[in-house]
């Protein structure tokens, strides 16, 4: 080999081939897809405390209502209960930022049940959380 052929041979060996770049691109794509899915799951879980905190406040308000009136309230209006950033849809239903809360008295005035439903993770299914009076 002469000097020119050796220089060309070295140049061809230096750098990356198209196959190398494509393999790295596929690996990065797969890893980023997995990371994005995990991130969305963590973000969805971080939105649940809104409902849990609302349930805790509702339970405290219902206990106070029970002590003063001898029965549980059947509507959010009777409790004077508001959800921060929420809008009243009906006396028993309030739309919060992420959840729609519905208060139900299925077993009469000595019980209550509240359901929070909303799509917090962007899938095709509603996320539903419930709370009720202790029995």
What pLDDT score does 103 carry? 93
Two structure tokens written together for 109: 């005035």
Two structure tokens written together for 19: 């196959």
Q: Tens of pLDDT along 43-78?
A: 877 878 888 888 898 999 999 999 999 999 999 988
Residue 87 near residue 97 (C-beta atoms within 8 A): no
Q: Burial, 81: exposed, middle or buried (Cβ in 10 Å; 0-12, 13-18, 19+)?
A: buried
What pLDDT score does 93 carry? 93
What pLDDT score does 13 carry? 64
What pLDDT score does 85 carry? 80
What pLDDT score does 43 carry? 82
Question: Going edge to edge, which strands form the sheet with 127-132?
Answer: 87-90, 93-95, 100-104, 113-118, 127-132
Residue 115 near residue 130 (C-beta atoms within 8 A): yes
Q: Tens of pLDDT along 75-123?
A: 998 888 888 888 889 999 999 888 899 999 888 888 899 999 988 877 7
- Whether 11 has a pLDDT exceeding 60, the answer reads no
Q: Burial, 49: exposed, middle or buried (Cβ in 10 Å; 0-12, 13-18, 19+)?
A: exposed
**In whole angstroms, what is the distance from residue 96 CA to residue 78 CA?**
18
94 to each of 20, 46, 47, 53, how far by Cα in Å? 56, 21, 17, 15
What pLDDT score does 29 carry? 95
Q: Tens of pLDDT along 16-40?
A: 899 999 999 999 999 999 999 888 8
């Amino acid at each position: 080999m002469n000097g020119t052929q050796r220089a060309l041979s070295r140049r061809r060996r230096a750098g990356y081939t198209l196959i190398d770049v494509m393999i790295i691109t596929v690996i990065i794509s797969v890893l980023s897809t997995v990371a994005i899915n995990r991130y969305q799951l963590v973000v969805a879980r971080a939105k649940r405390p809104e409902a849990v905190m609302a349930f805790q406040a509702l339970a405290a308000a219902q206990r106070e209502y029970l002590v003063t009136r001898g029965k549980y309230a059947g509507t959010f209006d009777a409790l004077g209960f508001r959800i921060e950033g929420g809008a009243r849809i009906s006396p028993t239903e309030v739309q919060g930022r992420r959840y729609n809360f519905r208060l139900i008295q299925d077993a009469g005035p000595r019980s209550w049940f509240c359901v929070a439903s909303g799509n917090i993770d962007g899938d095709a299914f509603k996320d539903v959380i419930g709370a009720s009076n202790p029995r």
